[in-house]
Structure 1
Amino acid sequence: MGRLVVRQLQARGDVPVAGLRPDEDSEDWEDLGVKVCRLDLLEKPERLASGMLGNDALIFAAGSGGRTKDDMTLLIDLDGAVKTMQAAEIAGVHRFLMISMLFAEDRSRWADPLKPLYVAKFYADHWLTHQTSLDYTIAEPGALSFHAPTGGFKSDPLAVGSISRADLAAFLVAALHDDRTIGRTIPLLSGDLSLAQLFDQL
């Protein structure tokens, strides 16, 4: 996900910095001309903040992944996300975009085996909206696919569906540059609207 976002930021003329795990190979990123910094989400917020200094915005695309146990879901998707928010405030990074998940706000829609991830997203999103002063946007995508981008979107809090990772990346980059998305939690699925039309409806 992060690689798609970085490439679209570059295409727009932005200068992204990729936050990598301490053990993650940086060669591919450097080949793309992308500056990297090491961010260990198990560290304290003050340590994370040192890698964020001088940046204008942060897109939180990290996740524990489907192969880890529930303890890492809590440590990365919940506590790691909250520590990243705290670090952003320490570093003076005011714009924060969060990738959540569809129905994260509605416990009645939480289904196994993803309940632990829903819990993490619910409380991380709550912290972002209620315990920070960050200019946030929360994207709540449906099921993420590897399909080619369609460039079509819809935002329906009751609908079920999917969206390609490339389209989610396009949304995040566009939202970063559109202040109408600040303070918004936006369900996101594939649909018939352009991003401009979607933002006009906010």
Structure 2
Amino acid sequence: MNVVVIGANGQIGKHLVNQLQAHEQHEVTAMVRKEGQKKELEDRGIHAVLADLEGSISDLETVVKGADAVVFTAGSGGHTGPDKTLLIDLDGAVKSIEAAKKANVNRFVMVSAFQAHNRDSWADSPIKPYMVAKHFADDTLMQSGLDYTIVRPGGLQNEPGIGKILAGENLDRGNIPREDVAATIVEVLEAQNTYQKGFDLIAGESTISEAVKKI
């Protein structure tokens, strides 16, 4: 499967690109914003392209055209304000969905946020603008007609992955290594039982393969 990773220079995106590059059955295209990022990836033998989520849909369509799947892992980051949250986490995601549709790329995996589907859970959250952006980006994807999967990870950690997860519709809040989030994305790419579904994701007791089969 030829997979385009949008947000390939992000913390989850880097793990995902590396895992896809090492996978025997997948090829990866890493979408980044800066020439230096592109060169670093190319120096490691990874196919990389330059594009900006604040650019045009046609630019994004060019990036994803010919792919089998798109994974959206991009984010504005905690150091930016609500303006970038709106432009990247919401509008950038929506433009990526529209680009995938225009390019006839039917498989789309969205990295969202824990309980983004449940407004009550973040009614008083200090990151409410981010949760709102994720909520409506996810809603756009659900209405798109694409074969989507929405992954909603809990608290993200930079510790090494343990390869054990818990996935479900409504979980108690927990943490998960970013490396395991990436591995879960790789696992769901071809798992048709995850199509048209979203799930919360935290560290657990089941192997990633076992947990994904039960979604």
TM-score exceeds 0.5: yes
2:16 matched residue in structure 1: 5
SS of residue in 1 equivalent to 2:37: coil
In 2, the alpha carbon distance for the partners of 1:86 and 1:104 equals: 21
- Give the alignment of 1:135-174 within 5 angstroms: 135-156=147-168, 157-174=170-187
Query: Unaligned 5+ residue runs, structure 2?
Result: 1-11
In 2, the alpha carbon distance for the partners of 1:149 and 1:137 equals: 21
In 2, the alpha carbon distance for the partners of 1:141 and 1:60 equals: 13
1:78 matched residue in structure 2: 90
2:6 matched residue in structure 1: none
Is 2:135 the counterpart of 1:122?
A: yes
Is 2:43 the counterpart of 1:31?
A: yes
- Give the alignment of 1:12-23 within 5 angstroms: 12-13=23-24, 14-22=26-34
SS of residue in 2 equivalent to 1:147: coil
In 2, the alpha carbon distance for the partners of 1:23 and 1:113 equals: 34
1:187 matched residue in structure 2: 200
Moved over 6 A (4+): none
Post-superposition shift, 1:22?
4.4
Is 2:191 the counterpart of 1:178?
A: yes
- Structure 1 stretch displaced more, 148-157 or 69-78: 148-157
Is 2:112 the counterpart of 1:100?
A: yes
- Pick the structure with more strand per residue: 2
Cα pair distance change 1:24/1:121, threshold 3 Å:
farther
Q: What is the aligned length?
A: 201
- Give the alignment of 1:35-74 within 5 angstroms: 35-74=47-86
SS of residue in 1 equivalent to 2:85: helix
Q: TM-score, normalised by structure 2?
A: 0.89
Post-superposition shift, 1:129?
0.2
- Structure 1 stretch displaced more, 49-58 or 108-117: 108-117
Q: TM-score, normalised by structure 1?
A: 0.95
Cα pair distance change 1:22/1:87, threshold 3 Å:
farther
SS of residue in 2 equivalent to 1:136: strand
Percent of counterpart pairs with the same letter?
38
- Structure 1 stretch displaced more, 18-27 or 190-199: 18-27
Post-superposition shift, 1:72?
0.5
Post-superposition shift, 1:166?
0.2
- Deviation string 1:25-54 (CA, Å, 9 cap, x unpaired) is 212201221111112111221221011111
- Deviation string 1:116-141 (CA, Å, 9 cap, x unpaired) is 110000000000001x1111000010
In 2, the alpha carbon distance for the partners of 1:134 and 1:190 equals: 28
Post-superposition shift, 1:106?
1.2
In 2, the alpha carbon distance for the partners of 1:24 and 1:187 equals: 34
- Structure 1 stretch displaced more, 59-68 or 150-159: 150-159
